[in-house]
Amino acid sequence: MQDKSDPDALVFRCDFCRSPWSEDLAMVEGHRGSIICGRCLSVAYAELVHLMSGRPAQPGDTCVLCLEEQRADPHWESPGYPGVLACKRCVKQSAGVLHKDRDIAWSKPAAPEDAPGTPG
C-alpha cells in the first residue's frame, strides 16, 4: 500500500506487516498497489507450500494481491492484521518473481528437513 499521509514522500508499505520499503527489503507488487515484502512472503510460502497449512478459504475471502475471491486454496493471513489475506497462487507467483530476480537477495524458503514426502 501507499502511505498517503505525507504527500511529499511516497512511502510504500507491505500490506501484511506495514513495514516501509527499504533498500534491503525485497517487495513484490500486487494489483492496485498492494505489496508483500520478502519477509512476509517467506512465512507465507513456508506455511502454504511447505506446511500446507494456512487459513481455509471462507466465503467472501479476498486476496489483497489479486483481489480475487479464492474458494479452493487456503490463504495466508497476516499475523498482525487479521483479514489481510494472500492466496496460495499469489504467494507462489510472487516467490517465483523474487527468486528469479538476481538483484534481490531472496530465495524461496527451503522445505523443512524433517517434513515427510517433500523430496527436492
- Decide whether 66 or 97 has the Cβ nearer to Zn ion: 66
- Please choose, out of 2-10, 39-47, 100-108, 110-118, the segment that lies near Zn ion by the rule CB under 5 A: 39-47
66 near Zn ion, rule: CB under 5 A: yes
Question: What angle do the packed helices 38-45 and 88-100 form, to 10 degrees?
Answer: 120
37 lines the binding site for Zn ion (CB under 5 A): yes
Q: Which of 116, 117, 120 is nearest to 108 (CA)?
A: 120
Q: Which positions touch Zn ion (CB under 5 A)?
A: 14, 16-17, 37, 40, 63, 65-66, 87, 90
